[in-house]
């Protein structure tokens, strides 16, 4: 399973609110279409983000799991409600699940592979909550 680092408050909005689109400047690689990914909250806040409510969680940690169901380009961003940005690819997310406890991990650009210990910790939390 791959992970994707997303800066706060966006990562928190995905796992704790209604954000079901991730804005990216690049197309979703075909290999990741329909796959389950780990949502990693980056170590830094997106200073350009408008905060949508209270502190949305942790930094530098795996905080949830989601399935990427597709993607599309948006010229104006209006197709995805308040979460869509203009002139970006919108990666569509579904089956989003927040982890009960964040799992500290160092992120990376693009898709990255978590350590075996990190993945085991995620799977153990999912087993408890299923």
Residue 5 has pLDDT above 60, yes or no: yes
Rounded to 5°, the CA angle 67-68-72 comes to 155
With contact defined as beta carbons under 8 Å apart, do 23 and 90 qualify? yes
With contact defined as beta carbons under 8 Å apart, do 102 and 58 qualify? yes
- Please give the structure tokens belonging to residue 119: 């993945």
- Please give the structure tokens belonging to residue 114: 């978590």
State pTM to two decimals: 0.92
- What band does 78 get if pLDDT is binned at 50, 70 and 90? very high
The model's pLDDT over 97-127, given as tens digits with 9 standing for 90+, comes to 999 999 999 999 999 999 999 999 999 998 8
**Domains of the chain with bracketed CATH:** 2-129 (2.30.130.30)
- What band does 48 get if pLDDT is binned at 50, 70 and 90? confident
**pLDDT reported for residue 46:** 87
Q: How far apart are the first and last CA of the chain?
A: 18
């Amino acid at each position: 399973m791959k992970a994707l680092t997303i800066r706060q408050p966006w990562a928190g909005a995905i796992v704790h609110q209604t954000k079901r689109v991730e804005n990216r400047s690049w197309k979703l690689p075909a290999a990741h279409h329909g796959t389950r990914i780990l949502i990693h909250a980056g170590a830094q806040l997106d200073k350009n983000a408008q905060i949508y409510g209270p502190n949305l969680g942790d930094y530098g940690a795996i905080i949830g799991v989601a399935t990427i169901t597709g993607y599309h380009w948006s010229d104006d961003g209006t197709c995805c409600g308040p979460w869509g940005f203009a002139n970006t690819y919108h990666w569509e997310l579904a089956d989003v699940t927040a982890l009960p406890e964040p799992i500290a991990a160092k992120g990376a650009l693009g898709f990255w592979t978590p350590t075996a210990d990190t993945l085991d910790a995620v799977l153990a939390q999912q087993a408890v909550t299923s």
